[in-house]
Amino acid sequence: MIEGVAALIVRGTIPDREIGDAVLGDLLEEHAEVAVARGRFAADGWLAWQLVRSFPYFHQVGRRAPATLRDTGAFAVRFYRGALLVNALGLGGGLVIVRAWRDWPAPLVVAFAVAIGFVAGHLAARLLPRAPLFVALAVGTIAAATAGSAMSSGAIVVSALRVAALPCLALAAIGGGLVRVRALLPAS
């Protein structure tokens, strides 16, 4: 179970497949060693803790620095195009939710937030295959922040269930990204 989660996180966050394979192999090798020495439960805990601590680094691993001016230009174009897309999906998702927030009953808003988050996260991860989990997380966060700021402006009546839609939205976006990452995993 935890090995599968590790594979998903590594595949979803490390852009370079070769480096991702090496990192995953190292993690699973140490996990097996810890399992022999201290038991399966301790090994799973060790792996989970490694993943949590390594998560902020994974996006940098495997990302090569641009070598030439032309590469730098191409990198800048890709970066801004990606950033624009992530922001558009996040803002769009957030605004659609705010629209729904106004008229719909709270349980329906939560369901709608989950659906919008999932679709936006999945789309972003599909369109930006380098580090899809980070992209999905960014979309979810932007969408949740947009909806949250509209709520805090006082324009919308807030109930606990409506507030609960915000983290649901962000988590659903990651879920959408994860589905995409699963498709990127090798068949074996």
Partner 1 sequence: MFYILKYMTPVVPSLGDFELAVLLSLVSLDEAYGAVIRRDVSERLDRDCSIGAVYTTLQRLEEKGVLRSWATEPTPMRGGRSRRCYALTRTGARALREARAPRERLLAELREAM
- Residues lying near partner 1 in the complex (CB under 8 A) are found at 18-19, 21-30, 32, 50, 53-58, 60-62, 64-65, 69, 188
Nearer to partner 1, 72 or 149 (CB): 72
Structure tokens at 51: 């993943």
CA angle 144, 172, 57 (to 5 degrees): 80
CB of 64 to partner 1, least distance (A): 8
Q: Which of 149, 139, 144 is nearest to 164 (CA)?
A: 144
Residues 6+ apart with CB under 8 A from 28: 3, 6
Q: How far is the CB of 147 from partner 1 (least distance, A)?
A: 31
Cβ nearer to partner 1, comparing 24 with 111 = 24
- HSE-up (13 A, CA, CB side) for residue 161: 10
**Closer to partner 1 by Cβ: residue 84 or 185:** 185
Nearest-approach distance from CB 28 to partner 1, in angstroms: 6
